[in-house]
Structure 1
Amino acid sequence: MGRHGWDSGARRWRFTALIGVGIAAIALVLTMCATLPDGNGSGNHRDGTTTDGDKVHGTPVPPRAAPQPELGWGFTHTQYSADEGDADAMRRAEDTLSARSLPQIQHIMGWGAENPEPSPGRYQFDELDSRVDLIRRTGGTPVITLCCAPDWMKGGKAGADNTDWSRRSLETAPGPEHYEDFAKLAGTVAKRYPDVRHFIVWNEFKGFFDDDRGRWNYEGYTHLYNLVYAELKKVDKEILVGGPYLVMDSHEPRDTTYASALKGPWGSVDQRVLDAYTYWNKNKKGADFVVVDGASYTRDDELLPDEFRATDKLTAVSEWISDRSGGLPVWWAEYYVEPGDDDDDRDGWSEPHRTAVHAAGLMAMARGGASTAFYWNPQKRGAGQCAGCLWRPTQRADGGGALPMMKLLSRFAKEFPPGTRYDETVRGAADDVPHLRVLADDETVLVVNTLDRPVKAEADGKSLDMKGYEVKWLAR
């Protein structure tokens, strides 16, 4: 779909200077030794790969208890994160992340990670290691998304220097003849990071659309999913696995081409997506949670009836999945409430406006029964605006500090963790209902002003003076 910038899969190049002829000579000797035919092949190859990909990396965090399928509210690492940049800024970013431990997603290829298996049986995990280490240091719950696939699994060339980072390549699924190879790669990743107990299989059905039949190839995805599920459970039966990570696309209400019964003033979810979910749900080998993805706006970027009421779609989808999941927790791997421009940037709103609509989106998912959701962190680097970023870019000397979206996400995670029982009786005064969004439990009330001007309002029996787009937390 390109929602989050397909080029963000490009490798984060690191440049290392060799100092002195002596160091260069030693490096050359070591490289030659590692590639001798009579070697055991476990060392680094001249292309930077290794054969011991399943060797446990670093110091895994011992589990405090059995993994739970409901994780709460977190975020996804993208092309740039807090594991590179100015040393002081990185420390500040880690302090920001450590202040409130959140679940954190990292993909195995792209979005900050290099090709994990450039050639069959030869692995390259340096950048994935770096991200897992960051999550460990900040006390987050690590989640790995098993996407994308090495080139040789999808018709491309093998070799670390042959990775094609184009959008077309990154969004290509492994060929059916390589489904088992991809499942084995998933098992290798699970063995390397034994403290990662939550895995999502693939991303947005990338490469699984059947153009000839005009529908999703849900049979192919489900076959791949079942192989990966079995492989991960073989590594550790306590590993939790979920899918199908479908994009819940919707069309405006008057478009009946792919209309479905899952609809509202915000539009109608594409029936082909619901068909794909139904097949996977019936034919999956097993699942510990159900993963979806989507935006409050339509495929044509329409926010209907407006940007706040459009988030009701997130409630409707969550309820629809909950009704069919057999009791499995509902996860949103990605959610979007602000349409992107031609470059997929979302910087048209002020930060208060953006924060208010995202708060409404979080409230909508929670109200629909979702227990886990991940904010797609559009982290950038260098100077300039970083709209919607969670922290100031760590490439800047003054970077690392929390931004408004991080403050919202952390507070929401603290106040409304998994298992929260929401109080549906809390409402604003009758005159205030049209321009307030309210979510409450026994201890806290969250109120959002959906207008870009100050208002006097009442919620939970309290009189409020609210600024335009203000997000206000009330203790009960």
Structure 2
Amino acid sequence: MGRHGWDTGTRRWRFTALIGVGMAALALVLTMCTAWPGADGTGDSAGTSTDGAKVHGTPPPAPGTAKAELGWGFTHTQFSADAGDDTARARAEKLLAGKKLPQIQHLMGWGSNNPEPSPGRYQFGEMDSRIDLIRRSGGTPVVTLCCAPDWMKGGKKGAANTDWSKQALETAPRPEHYADFAKLAGVVARRYPDVKHFIVWNEFKGFFDDGARRWNYEGYTELYNLVYAELKKVNKDILVGGPYLVMDSIDPRATDNASQVRGAWGSLDQRSLDAFTYWNEHKAGADFAVVDGSSYSKDDELLPSDFGATDKFTAVSRWVRQQTGGKLPLWWAEYYVEPGDADDDRDDWSEPHRAAVQAAGMIALARGGTGTAFYWNPQNERGDCAGCLWTPTQAADGGMELPMMKLISRFAAEFPPGTRYDEKVPVAADDVSHVRVLADERTALVVNTLDRAVETRVDGQDIAMKPYEVRWLTRK
């Protein structure tokens, strides 16, 4: 998550940790998980795994060859539908089962505990729970291989010593442990043989060279290549992607680190482009390219407006596709249209406003050639959940579908990978500037970007739209 990772929505870390008195309880639980024989399904009587790669569960073999493009899905964060009230969990699972969306789970953090507290000692309990949830809901599981156990980063060994602070989680493995991290990736791949899609690392965490004031893309690429080779050794049909790089943008008037990839929304940071270029030229191989980013600038400015800023997604997508010669499917592991405030309450925008800008962002991604993108679900534990996909499952009435789930799942169903978009959908001349449209031969998605009602004509149909309305049309 880089600078988007620390908040509970778009910019803070989602990791499994407790504070105060809870911290001591967590330490005790994690210690017991490591010490009990077979506590996580992998340990022997000494608590040291003799078969860290043991298959978890009995998943049926994945039919056919894995696809390099999965469509539109979401990422599980600290809180999800695998915990809480049984009735609410069942309701959420039923909701997800009806959508069949691809779903990301991280290796460590964001709801998953330290997978290897000490060398050769594994604990996959929380990871197992998330993978099982994805299986039960019929989604395609994707694993993001981040972050790394403390001992690979120069920290202490043992589950009870796991450091869940932002600084620790934003630290990359040391070079002497790159091979150890690759080995762990292989353990994960063997444990979950039905997982055929892996992303290597997250936002170049820990790979910024402060002295050189640029990304250490050589170090990341070395790690990536080792992980790529290990995963392909486990199963040649596993699909691997990177570099999961943040495509930051700066004010269009700025000159430091400015690139020629620019628009009214700003200029891409040249250092991000340099990092992607190096990885692309020196990677051992890749089955898809992965980036992430926000429509707003590094200063949290939406330029020239909240909807206009989404044009950045089109520009970035086209640049990445150009660099790879169009040979690698393009994934966005995260994409953001709404800057979070200090407390990430997300209450500045109404839900219709939020959905409209989100829809505009997805349209912009699709226009740029993006085939797979994941919504970062800002799920919380209780109360209102602006921008979430379902109501929190800790309460008995939780697990109910929210507007963002309706938008993303409908988008996924209407515009799957390989969709051929119609670039010439007619819109009333007076409304072209404020009506966004994406269409294939059957369906059109229309977005009113104004906070007032409009009457317009789209694709030969006269329609009256509410403020910030998102409308689906059947084409005649």
**Class of the TM-score when normalised by the shorter of the 2 chains:** over 0.9
Separation in 2 of the partners of 1:251 and 1:153?
34
Shift of 1:45: 4.9
The alignment's TM-score, normalised by the length of structure 1, stands at 0.93
> In the alignment, which residue of structure 2 is the partner of 1:225?
224
Give, as a single letter, the amino acid of the residue that structure 2 aligns with 1:97.
L
Unpaired runs of 5+ residues, structure 2, are: 23-31
Shift of 1:10: 2.5
> In the alignment, which residue of structure 2 is the partner of 1:199?
198
Separation in 2 of the partners of 1:256 and 1:367?
28
Separation in 1 of the partners of 2:110 and 2:260?
35
Give, as a single letter, the amino acid of the residue that structure 2 aligns with 1:3.
H
- Three-state SS of the structure 2 residue aligned to 1:269 is strand
Separation in 2 of the partners of 1:33 and 1:454?
64
Note if contact 2:37-2:45 (Cα within 8 Å) is conserved in structure 1: no
- Three-state SS of the structure 2 residue aligned to 1:130 is helix
> CA offsets, 1:118-175, max 9 Å, x none?
0000001000000000000000000000000000000100001000000000110000
Note if contact 1:12-1:113 (Cα within 8 Å) is conserved in structure 2: no
Separation in 2 of the partners of 1:428 and 1:254?
33
Matches within 5 A, 1:7-406: 7-11=13-17, 42-43=43-44, 45=46, 50-326=49-325, 327-383=327-383, 385-406=384-405
Give, as a single letter, the amino acid of the residue that structure 1 aligns with 2:297.
T
Separation in 1 of the partners of 2:297 and 2:416?
29
Percent identical pairs in the alignment equals: 68
Shift of 1:66: 0.3
Separation in 1 of the partners of 2:229 and 2:448?
47
Compared with structure 1, are the counterparts of its residues 7 and 312 closer, same or farther at alpha carbon in structure 2 (3 Å cutoff)?
A: closer
> CA offsets, 1:182-228, max 9 Å, x none?
00000000000000000000000000000000000000000000000
- Three-state SS of the structure 2 residue aligned to 1:306 is coil
> In the alignment, which residue of structure 2 is the partner of 1:453?
452
Separation in 2 of the partners of 1:126 and 1:254?
49
Compared with structure 1, are the counterparts of its residues 178 and 352 closer, same or farther at alpha carbon in structure 2 (3 Å cutoff)?
A: same
Shift of 1:394: 0.2
Separation in 2 of the partners of 1:361 and 1:306?
12
Separation in 1 of the partners of 2:431 and 2:43?
66
- Three-state SS of the structure 2 residue aligned to 1:181 is helix
Separation in 2 of the partners of 1:65 and 1:7?
36
Shift of 1:439: 0.3
> CA offsets, 1:365-397, max 9 Å, x none?
0000000000000000122x2010000000011
Separation in 1 of the partners of 2:38 and 2:89?
34
Separation in 1 of the partners of 2:45 and 2:365?
46
Give the total of aligned pairs: 454
- Three-state SS of the structure 2 residue aligned to 1:241 is strand
Give, as a single letter, the amino acid of the residue that structure 2 aligns with 1:363.
I
RMSD: 1.8
Shift of 1:32: 8.1
Shift of 1:344: 4.2
Note if contact 2:36-2:43 (Cα within 8 Å) is conserved in structure 1: no
- Three-state SS of the structure 1 residue aligned to 2:195 is coil
Compared with structure 1, are the counterparts of its residues 288 and 34 closer, same or farther at alpha carbon in structure 2 (3 Å cutoff)?
A: closer
